[in-house]
Each structure stands twice: as C-alpha cells, then as structure tokens.
Amino acid sequence: MKKISISKEHVNEIVRHSLEVFPREACGLLAGDGDAVRKVYCMRNAENSEVTYALDPGEQFSIMKQIEDKGLKLIAIYHSHTGSPAFPSATDVARAFFPGTKDENFPGVAYVIASVSENGLRELHAFLIKGEGIEEIEVKL
C-alpha cells in the first residue's frame, strides 16, 4: 500500500468520533477495497487514555466479521492524538509488533493518525509501521 484514499465524509466521521471522546484518544478500523476506504468503524478505547489506545479484542472480532461479510478488507487502523502531532508514538510503534519480535500484528495495514484539538482537526497522516521503521504514505482526499 503506497497511499490511502479517504473521502472528506469519512475524515469527518473520524474527527467527530475524536471530538466525542476528547481529550482521550479515539480509535477504530477503516475497511475498504484496494486503497480506498469504504467504511469507518468507531471503536471504544479499551485503555480510556489521553496518550495511548487499545482496541477491545471482542469488539475487534465482531467488526472484523462485519467487514468480511461486506466483502471488504481491513485497510487501516485509525486513532487520534490529542496532545501531539499526527506521528506514531514510541508506544504505537512498539505495539505494531508481536512482543519481542519484528512480526507485524497487522501486515500491510496502515495506521491513520488524526491530531485534534478541542476545536477540530489539526492534521491527519497515514503510515506503515514495519520492521524497517515508520514509512509515511500519501493520504488522498
């Protein structure tokens, strides 16, 4: 995946969710086909934190099934940053891999980060987090 295409409407959904739980981090899944996002799945932040997020495994399982039933694929995981730029934190990078390995938890899946203030979106960027490091990919609106 070299870029991710996301409509203004889907960006607005991510921003709306991020503001709803502000100043805690929001998270969720982006389903699509190829590199185009078709549906945003808002999830709860299992850590309920202002500096980290964690997907709820049960919720993730049920959404993955819905994505499959629609004939779509998981193409990205999104989360918000409420006090830092839209760039993966050390925790984000560490958690992209199985503990103690360079095996990606979600091979080929992008990480979309929306940095928000209480007033709205500051910036949104997408990354691949791989063994070789963090690679920013283009976000096509």
Q: Which residues contact 22 (CB under 8 A, 6 or more apart)?
A: 80, 82, 116, 118
By beta-carbon proximity to Zn ion, the closer residue of 5 and 89 is 89
What's at 131, amino acid-wise?
Answer: G
By beta-carbon proximity to Zn ion, the closer residue of 35 and 92 is 92
By beta-carbon proximity to Zn ion, the closer residue of 32 and 88 is 88
Q: What is the CA radius of gyration of the chain?
A: 14
**Gap between the Cα atoms of 55 and 125, Å rounded:** 20
Least Å distance, CB 96 to Zn ion, is 10
Strand partners, 84: none
By beta-carbon proximity to Zn ion, the closer residue of 7 and 89 is 89
Judged by CB under 5 A, the chain residues 70 through 89 that form the site for Zn ion are: 89
The footprint of Zn ion on this chain (CB under 5 A) covers a number of residues equal to: 2
* List 17, 18, 92, 128, residue binding Zn ion (CB under 5 A): 92
Q: Is 127 in the site for Zn ion (CB under 5 A)?
A: no
**Gap between the Cα atoms of 6 and 112, Å rounded:** 10
Least Å distance, CB 26 to Zn ion, is 11
**Gap between the Cα atoms of 86 and 118, Å rounded:** 15
